[in-house]
Structure 1
Amino acid sequence: MCEVCAVFGVSQHWTDAADPMGVRNVAAGILENRSERNKRLALINRILKPAGLTSSDWDGEAYSIEDADGRRVVAPDLSALWRHAERLGQRLIDPLDADFLQATS
């Protein structure tokens, strides 16, 4: 199965479970949910930058991770994003590592 088909029907990950409007309905708070997702992507890209990777939103349903050579992987949620990024970047990504903290400050 290709990665596109694998994403359809995936249930919501707990990291996307914010309910900023208190209505338990993603459609009602779509603008706020997209805003939160964009903030999350900015932080994700800051973490991925030392590994030579970037991430982007994939239609509000998944994350696309890309390396400098144009190789791309789609991750259905935040926990899968880190696994795919480490595999694609061929290195461990540890935002608490002292070298990482120094490189991003």
Structure 2
Amino acid sequence: MCGLCGAFGAPDHWSDGVAGTRPPQAERRARAEAANRVLGLYGLRLAAWADRYTLSGRTGRSAVVDHLGTLWPAAERLSGRSCDPLDPAILAALEAR
């Protein structure tokens, strides 16, 4: 299915949060920026797109991600390795920044 057609029925996920003071698209961009701190260590990049996200790698491969709950399995498929945002080495790299 085309990514645009799939966007019309994407279910809500707890990571989408509750209504805040910013528009939903701004909240989605802020979540993508936070996720990119970790994803960048795997050579990946997340961008807000409509009511979803696009995940892309250095090789040009990409995936449409409905919500942050499906992000890490997609990141593992694109990077070809295990992606654990709570890995002590990842946490140490984030703290060093």
Deviations, residues 47-71 of structure 1 (Å, cap 9, x unaligned): 1011100010111x11100000111
Per-residue deviation, 1:99:
0.9
User: Which of 27, 49, 55 is the matching residue for 1:36?
Assistant: 27
Higher helix share: 2
User: Which of 72, 76, 82 is the matching residue for 1:86?
Assistant: 76
* TM score, norm. by length of structure 1: 0.78
Instruction: Tell me what 2:14 maps to.
Output: 14
Cα distance in 1, alignment partners of residues 59 and 78 from structure 2: 11
* TM score, norm. by length of structure 2: 0.84
Q: How many residues are treated as equivalent by the alignment?
A: 95
Unmatched tracts of structure 1, length 5 or more: 22-30
Tell me if the contact between 2:32 and 2:47 (Cα under 8 Å) persists in the aligned partners.
yes
Which structure 1 residue ranges, 4+ long, deviate > 6 Å from structure 2?
A: none
Deviations, residues 14-58 of structure 1 (Å, cap 9, x unaligned): 22141225xxxxxxxxx4323322221111101101110001011
Cα distance in 1, alignment partners of residues 24 and 17 from structure 2: 9
The percentage of aligned residue pairs carrying the same residue is 37
Per-residue deviation, 1:4:
3.4
User: Which of 34, 37, 40 is the matching residue for 1:46?
Assistant: 37
